[in-house]
Structure 1
Amino acid sequence: MTDLLDPRNDFVFKRIFGSEENKDVLLAFLNRTFTESGEPPLTEIILLNPYTDKDAPLDKQSIFDIWAKTTEGKLINVEMQLFNKYDIEKRTLYYWSKRYSSQLQEGQTYKELKKCVTINILNYSFIANDRYHNVYHLREDHTGIELTDEIEVHFLELSKLDDQSVPVEGGLINWLLFLKGSDKSNWEVLKMNEPTLKKAMDTLEFLSQDREARRLYEKRQKYLHDEASMIEWATEKGMAEGMAKGMAEGMEKGEHKKALEIAKNMLSLGIEVSVIAKASGLSESEVESLKPIH
């Protein structure tokens, strides 16, 4: 039997959730995400960058995220992050702001701006709590009063899910367990809880058996692994260099402190400042500053 492709691979993720024929799959996933955060469900979405056969992970700059818009104009961006690229919060705000500001055409007023929602699905832990779904808005620190509803950021952390725990009812967790690669023996339960998941599962099985899709998947997977390795190497190298620099500075500070103590002792013995400066390596002004004030 052919091994299933990893639905967390962003190329595969977009094939499952970001095509016109699977728009109902994306809508069901979004509704579970929004319902869990206390928002009303959507009735319709428009894909702004649907997957087509022209999309292929051959270009290293390819980004397989999903852009959608509601009938009211609210913009939604969904992105899968298989590996930790670091500074995810800054990256999120940067792309959110570009998306938000790009709505205005010349001559339009700020009133034309619509709400932008970012949904980051992470295959690693980022937020220091046990919640797999965290939602952020812009609120006043003390009163909790919302400044505006225009910004909304979701973090869905797959690493915080218990692989052995199979839900007994419908909800977002069923979708996230599927994405994490839940054992196929659990698929029947997940489908019973979330019927639209069947279409997502069928798409994944089809892709897994398609030779060209597998070739493109493996090419994308290799790029993602290479990119993660480079980031890890650069991070470790930076940490090592930082530690070495810190140790050198610490030794330098320690030597300077020792020189100051020696100079103080020599001053107490009545030795001339110029002699102390030569012996300690300090400047004459530094030695002068060590003299007690009478």
Structure 2
Amino acid sequence: MADLLDPKNDFVFKRIFGSEENKDVLLAFLNRTFAESGEAPLTEIVLLNPYTDKDAPLDKQSIFDIWARTTEGKLINVEMQLFNKYDIEKRTLFYWSKRYSSQLQEGQSYTELKKCVTINILNYSFIANNRYHNIFHLREDETGLELTDDIEVHFMELSKLNEESISLEGGLINWLLFLKGADKANWEVLKMNEPTLKKAMDTLEFLSQDHEARRKYEERQKYLHDEASMIQWATEKGMAEGIEKGIEKGMAEGEKKKAIEIALNMLKMGLDTSVIAAASGLSEAQITDLRNRS
């Protein structure tokens, strides 16, 4: 049997959780997630961007996040992050705000706005505590009084889990251990009280044996690793140049031309403005101007 594909690969993740035929898998995962934030279970969801064969691993237009809506109109975004792109908290709020504001059509009242939930599954540690699942809302500092329930952000950090964490009672942790890549010998225990998890496992096994799925997976893996290498290079280069030269003093014309060339190449890769600015020495305003003109 072929080696199992990595379910953390966002292409595979969307095939398992974001396809119409596996909508029950996503629903079960979301209900385990929301149980930890004290919310009532969902009975139905609508996929807003279900996986299709048009989702090409190297196409920048393909969206490997999962967008869903509940019957009450609540919007949910689930995103898998293999590598640390930095500024994840700002990136999260930026995309949350775009989803939230996009609900209103011209002339509609603010009362039409529905709750937006962002779920980030991270393959690295981000929050300075030992909790693998952290949930954020908008509350008053002293009293904990909630200003609005419309914003909810989840961070799930797979790096904080190990296979000793398997829960015989089931729950979100078993889903996350599956995503982390738990030894197949432990699958029976993981799905013992998570019957829908078996369908996720069956889907992963099917994809792992499908030649075309494996080809697309490997293309996506290469793209993701190249992107991670570029981010690491950009960060290290940006730090070195910042120390040695001092970006605030400006650059000679030749250096500026080179910086613009670097920035344009990185824009094509879809990297964040802050990362490009650190690598090239250009300001974020200059990067934004290049993005608008390219």
> What TM-score do the two structures reach when normalised by structure 1?
0.82
Determine if contact 1:79/1:121 at 8 Å carries over to the other structure.
Answer: yes
Determine if contact 1:57/1:216 at 8 Å carries over to the other structure.
Answer: yes
Give the Cα separation in 2 of the matches to 1:238 and 1:167. Answer: 43
Aligned to 1:16: 16
Determine if contact 2:17/2:26 at 8 Å carries over to the other structure.
Answer: yes
Q: Does 1:195 align with 2:195?
A: yes
Q: Please give the root-mean-square deviation of Cα atoms over the aligned residues, in Å.
A: 1.3
Structure 2 residue runs without a partner (length 5+) = 250-294
Aligned to 2:128: 128
Give the Cα separation in 2 of the matches to 1:164 and 1:60. Answer: 38
Determine if contact 1:18/1:50 at 8 Å carries over to the other structure.
Answer: yes
Give the Cα separation in 2 of the matches to 1:77 and 1:53. Answer: 21
Deviation at 1:242, TM superposition (A): 2.8
Give CA deviations for 1:187-226 in whole Å, capped at 9, x if unaligned.
0001112111000000000000000000000001100000
Task: Give the partner amino acid of 1:238.
Answer: G
Determine if contact 1:174/1:190 at 8 Å carries over to the other structure.
Answer: yes
Give the Cα separation in 1 of the matches to 2:102 and 2:205. Answer: 37
**SS at 1:159 equivalent:** helix
Give the Cα separation in 2 of the matches to 1:155 and 1:58. Answer: 26
Give the Cα separation in 2 of the matches to 1:61 and 1:104. Answer: 24
Deviation at 1:243, TM superposition (A): 3.1
Q: Does 1:80 align with 2:84?
A: no
Give the Cα separation in 2 of the matches to 1:220 and 1:214. Answer: 10
Give the Cα separation in 1 of the matches to 2:95 and 2:108. Answer: 21
Structure 1 runs (4+) deviating above 3 angstroms are: none
Aligned to 2:97: 97
**SS at 1:196 equivalent:** helix
Give the Cα separation in 2 of the matches to 1:71 and 1:213. Answer: 32
Give the Cα separation in 2 of the matches to 1:148 and 1:164. Answer: 37
1:47-196 alignment, distance < 5 Å = 47-196=47-196
Aligned to 1:26: 26
Give the Cα separation in 2 of the matches to 1:209 and 1:201. Answer: 13
Task: Give the partner amino acid of 2:236.
Answer: E
- How many residues align? The count is 247
Deviation at 1:164, TM superposition (A): 3.4
Give the Cα separation in 2 of the matches to 1:219 and 1:27. Answer: 28
Give CA deviations for 1:116-153 in whole Å, capped at 9, x if unaligned.
00000000000000000000000111111110000000
Task: Give the partner amino acid of 2:128.
Answer: A
Task: Give the partner amino acid of 2:159.
Answer: S
Aligned to 1:43: 43
**SS at 2:152 equivalent:** strand
**SS at 1:192 equivalent:** coil
Deviation at 1:114, TM superposition (A): 0.4
Q: Does 1:223 align with 2:223?
A: yes
Task: Give the partner amino acid of 1:226.
Answer: D
In our comparison, the structure showing a higher alpha carbon Rg is: 1
Give CA deviations for 1:209-257 in whole Å, capped at 9, x if unaligned.
00000000000110000000000001011122233347xx9xxxxxxxx
Give the Cα separation in 1 of the matches to 2:174 and 2:243. Answer: 44
> Which of 64-73 and 33-42 deviates more?
33-42
> What TM-score do the two structures reach when normalised by structure 2?
0.82
Give the Cα separation in 2 of the matches to 1:62 and 1:8. Answer: 17
Determine if contact 1:35/1:41 at 8 Å carries over to the other structure.
Answer: yes
Determine if contact 1:174/1:193 at 8 Å carries over to the other structure.
Answer: no
Percent identity reads 87
Give the Cα separation in 2 of the matches to 1:52 and 1:242. Answer: 44
Structure 1 residue runs without a partner (length 5+) = 250-294
Deviation at 1:61, TM superposition (A): 4.6
Give CA deviations for 1:41-99 in whole Å, capped at 9, x if unaligned.
11110101111122121314533000000000000000000111111001100000000
Give the Cα separation in 1 of the matches to 2:57 and 2:126. Answer: 26
